[in-house]
Structure 1
């Protein structure tokens, strides 16, 4: 058991650091749990449990730094909460075969689009909220809340990409906003997975501690290094998530 704990804790640390910077940490942490033989539904629940503490730490650190755009995010939290609730309820009853095929293509598009748009997210182009942008913000919060509860991989990448392309935020603000919404969907998912007995606490608790430390390291790097650190990691993680999911699908 010690060797298994070593695997999930070390990979959990790396996953949380990466997730705080550019999203996509689930690409590392969830496979770590599956690697040691934990069944999929238990792995999903245990991963949510471990990831929630790190996501909370990143959210609070970003919020204290003033990087979270509260006027928008405070409303998106409600829609994320609702979406994640519906997502977990759905995944406990049906399989995710359809998403296994569609999501890799979408994440690949996100990664390639960002790669070939050299200035995307480097500087803030945010010009304020409009009724149209608010509605779009509510809709993608609901949809990605559902997606995170139902399936998960790439949620952070999708959120960051949409905050940049729809609102014109830079990578730092987009990462901060995304982490708050990601925490909400993780927390809701955690409660529902726990209620249904889908968490292995013997692995989840030590993994959560290491993910907390990893999230602290990742968040500090974002705030110190800025968008020029986040963008290449974001592109790398997006393409890696897409490649992994495509490989699994075929």
Structure 2
């Protein structure tokens, strides 16, 4: 019992720190729950509960630092929320096998593209909101919200990449904005998990506390160290998502 709490707290802390910087924390926190014997359906709900508290904490910290661009994300939030609800609903009746293969290709492209383009996301080139890009941003928010509710792995990477490639944000600002949308999709998914009694609070509460602390550390490191820290971790987590998906496929 105490050993299990120690494992999920330690790995939860590390997962939240990494996730606050560049996304991909679910690669660490979800397996931690499965390793100690939590059934998959309860592990998913419990992980969402803990991750939701961590992403909220990161969002608040980033917002206080002035890194969140609210004139943009305020339009994306409702699309993300609706997308996530639709995603959770859809996963109950649609096979995720095709999506698994498609995401594997996409996340590899994102990781490799970021490696090859050395200056990508190193400077904040955002200027102003253009209606066409705002519409595109809301579309991406809807699609990625749906994806997070339906499947999940790599959501943070895709969100960060969309903010950089579409709006010209640097990695820190992109991570800040993506964390707000990630919280929204987590919260929407959490509502349905809670409604169906899929949260194990015995593990979820201590894990949430450790993840809040981890997210605070990760967020402050991202703000202080900038894109030079965020980019290599972003690339690493993107490629780890790809490795995980390959392992599942094989």
- With normalisation by structure 1, the TM-score equals 0.97
For the residue of structure 1 that corresponds to 2:68, the secondary structure is coil
Displacement after TM superposition at 1:91 (Å): 2.2
1:88/1:193 contact within 8 Å kept: no
Counterparts of 1:7 and 1:101, CA distance in 2: 31
- Residues 104-137 of structure 1: CA distance to partner in whole angstroms, max 9, x if unpaired? 2211111111011000000011121112101110
List alignment gaps of at least 5 residues for structure 2.
none
Displacement after TM superposition at 1:249 (Å): 0.9
Aligned to 1:190: 190
Counterparts of 1:50 and 1:91, CA distance in 2: 21
Aligned to 1:57: 57
The answer on 1:69 being equivalent to 2:69 is: yes
Counterparts of 1:54 and 1:225, CA distance in 2: 20
Counterparts of 2:32 and 2:98, CA distance in 1: 23
The answer on 1:170 being equivalent to 2:170 is: yes
Counterparts of 1:53 and 1:95, CA distance in 2: 29
Displacement after TM superposition at 1:187 (Å): 0.8
Aligned to 2:228: 228
Point out the more displaced range, 125-134 or 73-82.
125-134
Displacement after TM superposition at 1:100 (Å): 2.1
Superposed CA RMSD? 1.0
Counterparts of 1:151 and 1:206, CA distance in 2: 25
Aligned to 1:115: 115
Counterparts of 2:26 and 2:12, CA distance in 1: 9
Aligned to 2:144: 144
For the residue of structure 2 that corresponds to 1:8, the secondary structure is helix
Aligned to 1:99: 99
- With normalisation by structure 2, the TM-score equals 0.97
Point out the more displaced range, 15-24 or 94-103.
94-103
List alignment gaps of at least 5 residues for structure 1.
none
Counterparts of 1:245 and 1:5, CA distance in 2: 27
Q: How does 1:32-43 map to 2 (within 5 A)?
A: 32-43=32-43
Q: How does 1:199-238 map to 2 (within 5 A)?
A: 199-238=199-238
- Residues 2-23 of structure 1: CA distance to partner in whole angstroms, max 9, x if unpaired? 2222221111111100000000
Aligned to 1:2: 2
Counterparts of 1:33 and 1:90, CA distance in 2: 24
1:170/1:227 contact within 8 Å kept: yes
- Residues 28-76 of structure 1: CA distance to partner in whole angstroms, max 9, x if unpaired? 1111112222222221111100101110110001111110011110010
Counterparts of 1:206 and 1:88, CA distance in 2: 25
Counterparts of 2:160 and 2:137, CA distance in 1: 12
- Residues 60-103 of structure 1: CA distance to partner in whole angstroms, max 9, x if unpaired? 01111110011110010010010011111222344422222221
